[in-house]
Structure 1
Amino acid sequence: MPAVELTNISKAYGTTAAVRDVSLTVEPGELFGLIGPDGAGKTTLFRILATLLLADAGTATVAGHDVVRDFRAIRNVVGYMPGRFSLYQDLTVQENLAFFAAVFRTTVQENYELVRDIYEQLAPFKDRRAGALSGGMKQKLALCCALIHKPEVLLLDEPTTGVDAVSRQEFWHMLGTLKAKGITIVVSTPYMDEAARCERVALLQTGQVLRVDTPAALRAAYPWPLYAVRAARMHPLLQDLRAYPGTHSCYAFGETAHLSLARPDAEATAHLTAYLTGKGHRDVAVTPVPATIEDTFMELLTQQQPANPEPHEPAAQ
Structure 2
Amino acid sequence: MKLKKRNYGITPFIVILIFIMMLTGCGSTSNGGMEEGKVNVVTTFYPIYEFAQLIGGENAHVINLLPVGVEPHDWTPRSQEIVNTSKAQLFMYNGAGLEGWVPGFLKALDKDSKVKAVEVSKGVKLIESENSDDAHDHGEVTSTENINADQHHVDPHTWVSPKSALVMAENIKNSFIEVDPSHQSQYEQRYQVLNDKLLALDQKFESELAKMPNKEIVVSHQAFGYLTRDYGLTQHSIMGLSPDAEPRAQDLIKLAKLVKEEKIKYIFFEELVSDRLAKTLAGEADVETMVLNPLEGLTQEQEKNKEDYFTLMNRNLQNLIIALK
TM class by shorter-chain length?
under 0.3
| TM-score of the superposed pair, with normalisation by structure 1 | 0.27
Q: Which has the larger Rg?
A: 1
Higher normalized helix content (fraction of residues): 2
| TM-score of the superposed pair, with normalisation by structure 2 | 0.26
